[in-house]
Amino acid sequence: MPHHVVLAKIVVVLLLFGAGWLLRTRRLLEGGALAALSRLVVDVAFPALVLVQLPRTVDPTILRSAWVVPAAGVVVIAGGMLVGRALTRSSTGAFLVGLPNWIFLPLLIGQGLYGAAGVRTVLLFNVGAQLVLWTLGVITVGGRARPSALLRNPGLLATGLGLLLALTVPPVRDLARGGGGDGAGALAARAVIEALDLLGSITVPLSVLVTGAQLADQRGGGAPAELLRVLLGRLLVLPALVGAGLAGVAALGAPLARPDRVLLLVIAAMPVALSGSLFAQRYGGDTALASRAVLVSTTLSLLTVPALVWALG
């Protein structure tokens, strides 16, 4: 795919950052509103997105034939956070190192490189990544583990319910994929799915707007050394480790096709996820570090991501 298409998508994200910053500086978004919007995304919109995407993506046949990809999602995200603990000085830094933007840009790249097969790989990676995000990720960014709170976590509950529906209730899978019958029950279920889909669609734009607004509250200071450690880990160390690991997996003859290996490397090289600062605010992490890491890593990806796509293409 043309690497300038990826470049254009990154510019869109940066424009939304600017819009959020402008809304905050003009006092159209107050501090209390930012906290409420962060909670809306993390506790409502993101879980709604997960609850619809899992039945749309997963079924028993796919998991049996391509189980390596969601397993890789667990390894890449969890391993990234563990590497982040070694590289950084804070729990938020470790969380950010292990949290790539694994949906928004990789979907575009996967579709451009490999069509429907590329989209499926990215969405299957999402299955494993969600399990880690709502467990180890929440523990890491908050710096503490509370099992009772984890069990009430909306994102973890949505992930569990979405997998259960995807694997055991074929009519729900059909409805999520645009099929299903025309009876009253099917129409009601389709309305619920469409409502959840619409609610989940605000996750990315609202995440970026809130992060831009959070940046407007930062007045110098911060921890530039920690930010540098996060950027090095997210954009250089993790892609290098994942690339070496994938080369080893290929040499051992593991059942992982070349398109899957390419897209796993692409995901590992992504900037910090757009929701990173919202998770930091929601679970008591370092919001200033997170919002700066999202902005700076996304800006640097104007160079790194198109270069990677060009090389792979």
pLDDT digits (tens, 9 = 90+) for 182-193: 778 888 989 999
- pLDDT at residue number 186: 84
pLDDT digits (tens, 9 = 90+) for 28-74: 888 788 889 999 999 999 999 999 988 988 889 988 888 889 999 99
Q: What is the mean pLDDT of the chain?
A: 88
* The pLDDT of residue 143 is above 80: no
What are the DSSP E strand ranges found in 216-283? none
| Tokens encoding 60 | 């028993």
Task: Check which CATH number belongs to the domain holding 295 and give it.
Answer: 1.20.1530.20
- pLDDT at residue number 1: 53
Domain housing 62: 3-312
- pLDDT at residue number 146: 64
- pLDDT at residue number 107: 84
Number of domains in the chain: 1
Query: Which positions ≥6 away from 202 have C-beta within 8 Å?
Result: 41, 45
| Of 204, 205, 62, residue with least CA distance to 127 | 62
pLDDT digits (tens, 9 = 90+) for 210-243: 999 988 877 654 578 999 999 999 999 999 999 9
Angle formed by the axes of helices 258-268 and 116-132, to 10°? 50
Query: In the structure, what pLDDT confidence band is assigned to residue 164 with cuts at 50, 70 and 90?
Result: very high
